[in-house]
Structure 1
Amino acid sequence: MAQPQGPEAGYCKASTAALLYAIAGATWILCSDMVLGAWLQDSELLGHAQLGKDLIFVLATALALFMLLRHNHQRHTEHLIQDAAQRTELRMLSQFRESIIDTAHVWINVLDEHGRVTVWNQAAEHITGYGREEVLNHHKIWEWLYPDPDYRAQVYSKVDDMLARDQIVSGFESRIRAKDGTIKIITWNSGRLYDEQGKINGLIAIGRDITEHKRAEKALVERERQLATLMANLPGMAYRCHDEPLWTMKFVSQGCQRLTGHQPEDFVDNQRLSFASIIHQDDREQVASEVALAQAEGRPFAIEYRIRHQDGHDVWVWEQGQAAEIDGTHFLEGILIDISERKRMEQALEQMAIRDPLTGLYNRRELEQQLDAELSTARRYQHTVGLLWIDVDHFKSVNDRFGHLAGDAVLRQLSSLLQEQVRTADYIARYGGEELAIVLPESDSQEALQLAERLCDTVARTPMQIPEHTPINITISVGVATYPTHAATTKALFQAVDQAMYAAKQQGRNRVHLATPAPTNDRHPTESPA
C-alpha cells in the first residue's frame, strides 16, 4: 500500500502523536489516582499528593515537549541547510552544464544503461545538426547518425562492450551522417558512468570532430607522396645542410646517386664523406664566397661549379639555394642540377666562335684580339712580340691537281705540324685560305727569325698525305715582324709582316723574310731599333 507523501504525512504524524499523548495522560491520571487513593487514607494528604503528582506530570510532559520541539527544530534547521546546499549544488551543476558542458568545443553526451541519450551538449547539436529535444531519451538518433545497419551494429557492439566491461576507450573513430547529409569523422574517448553507490549508471562519451583534420592529413600524405615522386625524378638532387664549411647534410634526395655516384646516406651527418670534400678544389673559394654574399644581401644564391664524381670525372652542377632558420638552427636548402652537357655545348660553341673549323687553329677574329692583348701587355712591361705570317706555296695547284679535299687535308696536316714546333704560349691562327699566322709573346726579331727558318725547313722535309694519292711535299713562305721594331699597332704589324711574306714569295718562295724596321717617329716612345 502506498504511504502518504508530502503535507498529508505531516498531518498523520501530528494526529498520531496527539492521540498517544491523550492516552498516556489519561492513563497516568487514572492509574496514579488509584494508586494514591489506595496508599493514602488522609484526604488532605491525598490532595497534596495528587497536586504534586499533577505538577510532576506537567513538568515531565513540558520537558518532553521541549526536548521534542528542540529536536524537531534541529532537524528542521539541518533540513534547511541541506536544502540550501542542494539548491547551491543544483545551481552550480546547472552553471557547470551551461558554462562547461554546453559551451565545450567537444561533443559530450551521456547514455543510460539502456543506451538512451541523457546529456547532449551544444557542440553535439552543432556537429550533428540534431537538437537536444530531438535526441534525449530515445534511440532514433543512432539510426539517424548511423543509417547503415551493418555499421550501426558495429558501433552498438562497441558500446555494449564498454557497458559490459570496465573498458575505457580512447581514440575510437566512427563516421556519422549529420542532419544535412554530410559525412563526418568523430574520434571518441569513452568510459563507464557510476552513481553514488558505485552502480553502473550508463556511459559518458566525449567526441571531437576530426573531419577537417583527416582531410588535411590525407592532403598532406598526398603532397608528401607527390613530393617524394618529384624528388625521386629530379634531374639532380635536393638537399638541406648545416650552414658551415663542411656542408654537413641533414637531408639528401635520391638523385644524389645519379649526380655524384654516392648514396644519399653517405653524406648525411658526414657518415662517409662531407659534400664540401667533393667540390672541385679550384671552385671551393668561389662557392663559399657566393653563398656568403647572397646571405649578406638576404637573397637566394645561384652558382655553377664542379664536383668530383665517385668514378673520378668532374661534373658541372648548377645550384640554387637559400638560407633557412629552423628551430633556431641555420641551414642551407637548395637543389643541384647536372649541367655538364650544357657546359660541353657552351665550350663547343666557344670553340666554334674562336677556332677555325677546318684546322682547329684560332680564327682571324681571335688572332686579332690575342695580338691586341699581347701588344697591350708588351707596352705596359716593355716586352717584344713576334709575328710570323705563313703562306703555302703554289697551294692553288694542289687544289687543281688533287681537289679541294686534298687541299683541306694538307692544311690540317700543316697546322698540326706547326703546333708541334711552337711553344705553349704561342698562338697559331688561320687568317684565311692558305694563310696562317703565329703570335710569339716576348720574342724579339732574332728569335722569331730562327723559328721561322726552322718551320720553313721542317715543312719542306715533311711529306703530306693525300687521300688516294701518294704523299706530296709542300713549301711555305714566311714573313717575320716584331713589335716594337717593325710596327707599334696591330694594324701596322699586320701590314709589315704581310709585306715581308710577299717579299719572301718574290724572292723565290720556300724562304723567310724579315720586315723592314719602321721609321723612328712611327714607333712607340719606348722602342729602339733592332
Structure 2
Amino acid sequence: MNHTKRSGTPVKRSLKVALVYLLVGGLWILFSDAAVERVVSDPEMLTRLQTWKGWAFVAFTGGVLYLVMLRQFQNDRVMLDRQLGQQEEIRRLSQFQQSVIDNANIWINVLDPDGRVLIWNRAAEEISGYSSDAVTGSDTVWEKLYPDPDYRAWVLERVSRIMAGDEEAEGLETTIATGHNGNRTIAWNSRSFLDAAGRTAGSIAIGMDVTEPRAAESTLKARERQLRTIMDNLPGMAYRCLYDEYWTMKFISSGCRDLTGYEPDELIDNRHLPWVDLMFADESDAVSSAVDDAIAAAEPFSVEYRLRRANGDIIWVWERGRAVEDDGGMVLEGIILDVTERKQLESRLSEMATLDPLTGQFNRRETDRILQEEVTRAERYGRKLAILWVDLDHFKDVNDSRGHAVGDEVLRSISLRLADSIRTVDTLGRFGGEEFIVVLPEMSVDEAWDVAERLRVRVADEPIRVSDGDPLTLTISIGVAVYPDHAESAEGLCNMADKAMYQAKDQGRNRTMVFSQVAGTIESDKSGEA
C-alpha cells in the first residue's frame, strides 16, 4: 500500500507541470498575438514579430526546461549516490554478518517481534544441530529445542518479557535438546532492540555452550561433598596450617569440635586463640624440632603431644602430616587423632610389665634393671650404693591360719609402709613371695643401716589391719650390702644382702644384719631381738 502511494506521486507532479506548461503556452499565444496585432499593422512586420515571439517563447521555455531538468538530474544524482551508499552499507553489513556473526564461535540469533528466527549463525547450527535454512523465518524451532511443554512455556515467557523490554537476560541458563548431540546447557545474554520509529523490532541473543564447564563444576561439587563427608567423619581432625610460630590454621575439619571442644572458626586464623596455645610449652619445642627434621629430610612427620581442651581436660594426640608448597609458600597438611585411650592403655601395659600386680611396686625384672643402672652409675661417679633385702617373718603362718586373701592384704600393707618410708630416689621392688629389695643410691653402710632399722621398727610397731579378724603384728628381717664394700656387681650385692638377711633369720628374726667379708661371717645387729 505504501509502495503504490509513493509510485503515484511523480505522475501527479508530471501532470501538474504539463498542465501548467499548456496553460502558460496557451495564454502566451493568445495574449501575445492580440497585443502584437494592436501594435503593428504592417503584415510583413507582424509576421516577423510573431516569428521572433515564437522563438522567444521557445528560448524561454527551453531555459526553464533546462533549469527544471538540471534540478531533476541533480536530485537524481543525489538519490543515486544515496542508493549506492545504501547498497555499500548493505554489502558491508552482509560482510559483517558473514565475518563476525556467522563466523563467531558463540551462538548468535535474532528474532522478530513474533519470535521467528531472522539470523541463525554457524555456531548456532553446530551447537543446536539445526541449520539456518531449516529455522529462519519460523518459530517451530522452540518445540525442537524445548520438547517439554512446561519448560518451553517458561522459556517463551522469558523471551516475551525480553521482547517487551521488561527485562534483559544475563547468564540465563537453559537446557536444550539438540538435533545431534543430546542435551546441552546454554548460558544466554539477550535483550530487545528498536527500529527507527522506536518500536520493538525484535531481540538478539548470544549463547555460550557451558555443558562441559557445568559438568566439571558438578563433578567438582560432588567431589567436594564427598571430601567434606569424609572429613566430617574422620576419627580426628584434618587441617592445613601455616608453618609459623603459631601454627596458624587456615583450614580445620569439623572434627575439631570433638577433638578440642572449640569450633573450627575459633581457631582458624587465630581468631580466638592460636593452636600453639592448646599445646604445652615444654612439648612445643620438641614438636617443632621433629617437624623441622622431617621437612629437612622431605619426609612426613609423626608426633605425639598433649593438648588442653576447651573444658580444661588434657588429652594426648597423634599428628601425622607433611609440608607442601602453596602459592610460593610452605604449609603443613595432615590429620590429628585423639590417642588418649591408647596412651592410657600403653601406660597400663607399661605398669603391668614393670609393676608387681599385687603390691603395685616394681617387679623383679624392673628392679633388676634399675639396680644394674644404679651400679653402673655408682661405678662411673665413684659413689656408694646400698641395697636392703627384706623378708617377712613367719609369713607362712599367716597364710596357713588366716588364708591367702589376708596374706595378700598383709603384703600390700607392708609394701606401702616400706615405700612410704624411703626417699623418692630410692627404689622398692618385690622379688617374689614375701621378699622385697630396697635400692639406696649414694648410701654408706651406716646410712643404709639406719634406713633398714627405721623400716624394721615401723613394721614391728604398727599392727596391720585386715578385713578378716583382728589386726596382725608382724616383723621383718633385713640384710644389708653396699657397693663397692661388699660386692661390685648387682648380682653380687643381691647375694650378699640375701645372705645377711638369712643370718638375721638365724639370729632370731626381727633383725638387721650387714654382710661381713671376714671369713663369710655376718656383722652382729645393733638392735638385738625385738
TM-score, scaled to structure 1: 0.81
Equivalent pair of 2:36/2:49 in contact (CA under 8 Å): no
Which residue of 2 is the match for residue 482 of structure 1? Answer: 482
Give distance in 1, aligned partners of 2:518 and 2:504. Answer: 18
1:205-237, Cα deviation, whole Å (9 max, x unpaired): 122333444444444444444444444444333
Q: Is the 8 A contact 2:164 2:192 kept in 1?
A: no
Deviation at 1:251, TM superposition (A): 4.3
SS of the aligned residue for 1:303 comes to strand
Query: Which stretch of structure 1 is more off in the superposition, 89-98 or 500-509?
Result: 89-98
| Offset at residue 149 of structure 1 (A) | 2.2
Rate the CA distance shift 1:289–1:94 in 2: closer, same or farther, 3 A. Answer: farther
Displacement of 1:37: 8.8
Q: Deviation digits for residues 100-145 of structure 1, max 9, x if unmatched?
A: 3234333211111221111112222233222222211112211111
Choose 304-313 or 158-167, whichever is displaced more.
158-167
Partner residue of 2:524? none
CA contact (8 A) 1:166 1:191 kept: no
Superposed CA RMSD:
4.2
Q: Which residue of 2 aligns with 1:523?
A: none
Residue 383 of structure 1 aligns with an amino acid whose one-letter code is R
Matches within 5 A, 1:330-369: 331-369=331-369
Structure-2 separation of matches of 1:367 and 1:176: 84
Deviation of 1:472 (Å): 2.5
Task: Give the Cα separation in 2 of the matches to 1:284 and 1:220.
Answer: 38
Asked if the contact 2:384/2:444 (under 8 Å) is kept, the reply is yes
Equivalent residue, structure 1, for 2:443: 443
Superposed, 1:288-437 pairs within 5 Å as 288-323=288-323, 331-437=331-437
**Which residue matches 2:119?**
119
Query: 1:263-282 residue pairs with structure 2 within 5 A?
Result: 263-282=263-282
- State the 1:458 CA deviation: 2.0
Q: Measure, in 1, the Cα distance between the counterparts of 2:245 and 2:372.
A: 42
Question: SS at 1:147's partner residue?
Answer: coil
Q: Distance in 1 between matches of 2:254 and 2:270?
A: 16
Return 131-140 or 224-233, whichever deviates more: 224-233
Q: 1:48 to 1:37 in 2, by over 3 A?
A: closer
Whichever residue aligns with residue 282 of structure 2, its letter is D
Question: Which moved further from structure 2: 311-320 or 501-510?
Answer: 501-510
Residue 271 to residue 152, structure 1, CA distance change in 2 (3 Å) = closer
Pairwise CA distance, 1:284: 1.7
SS of the residue corresponding to residue 478 of structure 2 reads: strand
- Matching residue of 1:494: 494
Q: What is the distance in 1 between the residues matched to 2:298 and 2:232?
A: 30
User: Which segment drifts farther, 277-286 or 58-67?
Assistant: 58-67
Q: Which residue of 2 aligns with 1:104?
A: 104
| AA partner of residue 176 (structure 1) | I
Partner SS, residue 375 of structure 1: helix
Q: Structure 2 CA distance, aligned partners of 1:230 and 1:149?
A: 41
Distance 1:513 1:97 in 2: 119
Q: Mean alpha-carbon deviation: is it higher for 128-137 or for 239-248?
A: 239-248
The residue identity in structure 1 corresponding to 2:446 is Q
Q: Is the 8 A contact 2:164 2:200 kept in 1?
A: no
Structure 1: which amino acid aligns with 2:318? W
2:391–2:436 Cα contact (<8 Å) kept: yes
Partner secondary structure for residue 429 of structure 2: strand
Q: Unaligned stretches of 5+ in structure 1? A: 520-530
Contact 2:249 2:270 in 1 (8 A): yes
Alpha-carbon separation, structure 2, partners of 1:425 and 1:297: 40
Q: Counterparts in 2 of 1:4-153, with a 5 A limit?
A: 72=73, 76=77, 85-86=85-86, 88-153=88-153
Cα deviation code 1:302-349 (max 9, x no counterpart): 321111123333111122334456556665444322111111001111
TM score, norm. by length of structure 2: 0.81
Q: Which amino acid aligns with 1:363?
A: N
Q: Deviations over 1:263-290 (max 9, x none)?
A: 4444344444333222112212122323
Tell me the equivalent position of 1:469: 469
Task: Say which SS state the counterpart of residue 292 (structure 2) adopts.
Answer: helix
Equivalents in 1 of 2:358, 2:103: separation in Å?
Answer: 89
* Alpha-carbon offset, residue 449 of structure 1: 1.7
Distance 1:279 1:420 in 2: 34
CA distance, structure 2, for counterparts of residue 37 and residue 458 of structure 1: 179
Q: CA deviation at 1:356?
A: 1.5
Q: Which amino acid aligns with 1:492?
A: G
Percent of residue pairs identical: 42
Q: Does 1:202 align with 2:202?
A: yes
Q: For the residues of structure 2 that align with 1:56 and 1:446, how far apart are their CA atoms? A: 170
CA, structure 1 residues 67+2, in 2 after alignment: closer, same or farther (shift >3 Å)? closer
> Is the CA contact 2:279–2:307 (under 8 Å) kept in the aligned structure 1?
yes
1:528 corresponds to:
none
- What is the CA distance between 1:436 and its match in structure 2? 1.4
